[in-house]
Structure 1
Amino acid sequence: MKRFLTHPIFPILSEIVTKENLESYVIGGFVRDLFLERESKDIDVVVIGSGIELAKKVAAKAGNTNVSIFKSYGTAMLKYKGFEVEFVGARKESYQRESRNPIVEDGTLDDDQKRRDFTINALALSLHKDNFGELLDPFGGVEDLQHKIIKTPLDPLITFSDDPLRMMRAIRFATQLDFKISAVTFEAIKTNKDRIHIISQERIIEEMNKIVMSPMPSIGFKLLDESGLLDIIFPEFQKLKGRETRNGISHKDNFYHTLEVLDNLCCHSDNLWLRWSALLHDIAKPKTKKFVKGIGWTFHAHNFIGEKMVPKIFKNMKLPLNEKMKFVQKMVSLHMRPIVLAQEVVTDSAIRRLLFDAGDDIDELMLLCEADITSKNEAKVKKFLDNFQLVRQKLKEVEEKDTIRNFQPPISGEEIISTFNLSPSRVIGDIKTAIKDAILDGEIQNNYDDAYQFMLKKGEELGLKAVGKK
């Protein structure tokens, strides 16, 4: 592997390690990704001794490089030519049942490799010049890479009980790398699933977001479901699972439908929050499901109920309660609108209203809606997608003509007050809404003069007298 350690940090590391006669290795994910030919910007260096002291010497040699020191963890980190290099002393760990935070002692390389989560992350390459680039692989990690298998170096029951976050990491790596989790390892996840309760929600959502951002997130969510973890960490989503049949009529399994939508979307967008919108777009279907005789299964208003569910889900999962959440709410609320338009004759009025409600997020909404077409009927899918292209063209034409996206009504509430000499009251909002609706319905153009004349006419209908006409 010597020829692959080409980053400029490695000659510096090797020179210092050799000069100081240290035993030091590059270990973990960077080595794994070398074998997988994946780009990695994070280098983990383990040394028998003080990782902090080695980091200081490397920084001094590299020049103009600051070291961030974390004394309580015994680690140090520096940035060098686009890479982050983290240093730690080799250690061994032991755990107490009520915590995933280990009791740490100085250890050997063997100790350090044993504490690693998976065999594929326990690979180490020597940095000493005498055996620079030599691979140390005591648990067969290279073979597991070749066979695309995830398993633990030691007994997985103990590994996952000690640090239950590793269960999430196993599923995350399986999803990111398209690997299989060994049968013994997966059974240990099932056995230890309830241990996930001792992990902070912040750490859980960090792993889940990585699953969501994978090329095919459905792999991870199916594993979470099969392991029993999903019902613990995301019960609202697990409730989508299953089909019900009544009078010979079944509805689709919304769990698998949602995962298909998410996978479809991932081919076109790496926007984390749009992917979360796909995950949650049908989240209210279990709450709104109803069988109507003569019609079949309905999920009336599931988009609006789903929009209201988003804040609680985000709060429980420690996702951000800011504009990112509001974006997801908007997508969930509006996701049915373009689909309805694609089934009907598209009017300028309907397009204006969609543009007004979606604003700058219209393109993301269209991506979500196109991903939502999961029928197995190829002709039906083609028809929908063709119709979506017509909707997109109509959106472009109306936007160019009427400038509706994110528009504000040309007449302000203050001008309505001054024109009719009003005190603050409900009628002001009624007039503003009437102006907005007139523009969106195409009754008047989106400009000040038309809006002003419409305001005077509306005021007259309401028995108001203008005191300051133009």
Structure 2
Amino acid sequence: MNLHLALTHPIFKIISQSAAELGIDAYVIGGFVRDYILERGQHKDIDIVAVGSGIALAKQVAKNIPNRPKVQVFKTYGTAMLKYEDIEIEFVGARKESYTEESRNPIVENGTLEDDQNRRDFTINAMALGLGEANFGTLLDPFDGLKDLEAKIIRTPLDPDITYSDDPLRMMRAIRFASQLKFTIESASLEAISKNKDRIKIITKERIVVELNKILESDVPSIGFLLLEETGLLEYILPELTALKGIDEKEGQRHKDNFYHTLEVVDNIAKNTDDLWLRWAALLHDIGKAPTKKFSKKVGWTFHGHELAGSKMTYRLFKRLKLPLNDKMKFVQKMVFMSSRPIALAQDVTDSAVRRLVFDAGDHVDDLMVLCEADITTKNPKKFKKYHNNFKLVRDKIVEVEERDHIRNFQPPVSGEEIMEAFGLKPSREIGIIKEAIKEAILEGKIPNEHEAAYALMLVEGKRLGLKKNEV
């Protein structure tokens, strides 16, 4: 099969010419070939295998590009990388690999193209296109990757038990590809993942998170998370999620399975936002329910304070997985902590409650509404419609209140300096009390968010605290 139309970009002719000048064979392999056949759009990463030195080929290619791009060399791995226009091209010498039990870093020897294809993770990633004059665009597919693409199957070229034990990150990659491509993992491969799940412990948290993020960014993230749970990997990576699994029953009263509910919420939010961190918030929004679950005869099952518990757990989870502990984590924490607020508010949409919601959520109030709308997973069409109509009322009220009261990113109309000047104060507790009284009065709608009204209230509060106005 010839796929020369896949190689119309000028870079392929340059690589072909450079390989001929060095007297070596070169091939495009992996994701570029797979995604071209799947018609998944332009690939910005290209992997080139040289039967010889990949580093030498990269340097020769750079010489043949007019602006001579810089070649990054990674001697430890025998690879090199350069950028051409907006494409990143990685070069590697064909090799065969062997592994030790303690590490996923292989012992590498020079090899043939066949050796290199044998070491690939999946049949769909082992397909190569020739770049030589005689085989330009010819598909080399020793493991029937093309058939697996057509059948939508994830399968390893060699024994899956060895493939996953050698490099356990491949287990995460199998599940990630299944999630991204909506493919099925072949049964022997799925069994091998379950069998080797404990091997994931030798993989760094950073590598695991890269794959987790790609699963979360897929169109239907639940595909990946259900596979992680089925194979036992999720228990190791995110035990906070597996703790939500199951339904307890006492005295005829049951609660919903919060694990499957969470996955529905994540799928719902994936339809409405590409924001990775908002998707993380959806994934974690109910993790506080496992430690706060209680039963009483009066009210049945309760999860009091699960939002606060969940927000604290979010920090510990991010720290353990080596996720960023910056504003991204704080955003997820805030969304988890506030995740029930609009639901409660939707029952009684008052101006003061909406003002408080906007004040507390700030710039993220729209994200919070997206999360809460995704949290509606009822199968009852009447309830579903009612909840969405109520959230529309909340959204409309947010716009109305914001236009009138300008609460988002609220700054008190009277500053601390102004209070000190008015009463001849030094920094003190009284200033905080007055500012808090002004904020509360604005949020409750007792005074407008304006300087004149706030200044008048400042004088009243100052008098109540026994302060005397400075007479100038």
1:419 counterpart = 2:427: no
How far 1:59 sits from its partner (Å)? Answer: 1.2
1:398 counterpart = 2:398: no
1:57 counterpart = 2:60: yes
Task: Tell me the residue number matched to 2:470.
Answer: 467
Are the aligned partners of 2:22 and 2:57 in contact in 1 as well (CA < 8 Å)?
no
1:31 counterpart = 2:33: yes
1:115 counterpart = 2:127: no
1:196 counterpart = 2:200: yes
Please give the alpha-carbon distance, in whole angstroms, between the structure 1 residues aligned to 2:72 and 2:65: 15
Task: Tell me the residue number matched to 1:16.
Answer: 18
Q: What is the one-letter code of the residue matched to 1:252?
A: K
Which runs of structure 2 are paired with 1:376-387 in the superposition (5 Å)?
376-387=379-390
Greater shift after overlay, 282-291 or 421-430?
A: 421-430
Please give the alpha-carbon distance, in whole angstroms, between the structure 1 residues aligned to 2:435 and 2:14: 68
Please give the alpha-carbon distance, in whole angstroms, between the structure 1 residues aligned to 2:26 and 2:16: 9
Task: Tell me the residue number matched to 1:99.
Answer: 103
How far 1:56 sits from its partner (Å)? Answer: 1.1
Which runs of structure 2 are paired with 1:447-466 in the superposition (5 Å)?
447-466=450-469
Q: 2:440 aligns with which of 432, 437, 457?
A: 437
1:153 counterpart = 2:157: yes
Are the aligned partners of 1:418 and 1:468 in contact in 2 as well (CA < 8 Å)?
no
How far 1:414 sits from its partner (Å)? Answer: 2.8
Please give the alpha-carbon distance, in whole angstroms, between the structure 2 residues aligned to 1:210 and 1:260: 18
Are the aligned partners of 1:243 and 1:253 in contact in 2 as well (CA < 8 Å)?
yes
TM superposition score normalised by structure 2: 0.97
How far 1:54 sits from its partner (Å)? Answer: 0.7
Equivalent residue of 2:280, what SS? helix
Equivalent residue of 2:373, what SS? helix
1:357 counterpart = 2:343: no
Which runs of structure 2 are paired with 1:259-298 in the superposition (5 Å)?
259-298=263-302
How far 1:420 sits from its partner (Å)? Answer: 2.3
Are the aligned partners of 2:152 and 2:184 in contact in 1 as well (CA < 8 Å)?
yes
Equivalent residue of 1:362, what SS? helix
Q: What is the one-letter code of the residue matched to 1:186?
A: L
Please give the alpha-carbon distance, in whole angstroms, between the structure 2 residues aligned to 1:29 and 1:353: 49
Q: Cα RMSD over matched residues?
A: 1.1
How far 1:423 sits from its partner (Å)? Answer: 4.1
TM superposition score normalised by structure 1: 0.98
Equivalent residue of 1:129, what SS? coil
Q: What is the one-letter code of the residue matched to 2:470?
A: V
Equivalent residue of 2:267, what SS? helix
1:343 counterpart = 2:347: yes
Q: 2:259 aligns with which of 255, 261, 270?
A: 255
How far 1:17 sits from its partner (Å)? Answer: 2.4
Please give the alpha-carbon distance, in whole angstroms, between the structure 2 residues aligned to 1:240 and 1:468: 63
Q: What is the one-letter code of the residue matched to 2:468?
A: K
Q: What is the one-letter code of the residue matched to 2:8?
A: T
Greater shift after overlay, 230-239 or 293-302?
A: 293-302
How far 1:360 sits from its partner (Å)? Answer: 0.8
Q: Deviations over 1:190-236 (max 9, x none)?
A: 11000111111110111101111111110111101110111111111
Q: Deviations over 1:410-433 (max 9, x none)?
A: 222233233223343333212111
How far 1:468 sits from its partner (Å)? Answer: 4.4
1:78 counterpart = 2:82: yes
Task: Tell me the residue number matched to 2:215.
Answer: 211
Greater shift after overlay, 458-467 or 90-99?
A: 458-467
Q: Deviations over 1:366-415 (max 9, x none)?
A: 10000000001011011111111111111111111111111111222233
State the percentage of identical aligned residues: 63
Q: What is the one-letter code of the residue matched to 1:308?
A: K
Task: Tell me the residue number matched to 2:8.
Answer: 6
Please give the alpha-carbon distance, in whole angstroms, between the structure 2 residues aligned to 1:378 and 1:9: 54
Greater shift after overlay, 19-28 or 447-456?
A: 19-28
Q: Deviations over 1:31-71 (max 9, x none)?
A: 11111111211110000111111111111111212211112
Equivalent residue of 1:131, what SS? coil
Are the aligned partners of 2:315 and 2:325 in contact in 1 as well (CA < 8 Å)?
yes
Q: What is the one-letter code of the residue matched to 1:79?
A: K
Please give the alpha-carbon distance, in whole angstroms, between the structure 1 residues aligned to 2:426 and 2:44: 62
How far 1:292 sits from its partner (Å)? Answer: 2.1
Are the aligned partners of 1:444 and 1:450 in contact in 2 as well (CA < 8 Å)?
yes
Task: Tell me the residue number matched to 1:163.
Answer: 167
Equivalent residue of 1:130, what SS? coil
Please give the alpha-carbon distance, in whole angstroms, between the structure 1 residues aligned to 2:171 and 2:20: 38
**Structure 2: any 5+ residue segments left out of the alignment?**
none
How far 1:262 sits from its partner (Å)? Answer: 0.4
Equivalent residue of 1:97, what SS? coil
1:43 counterpart = 2:46: yes
**Structure 1: any 5+ residue segments left out of the alignment?**
none
Are the aligned partners of 1:343 and 1:384 in contact in 2 as well (CA < 8 Å)?
no
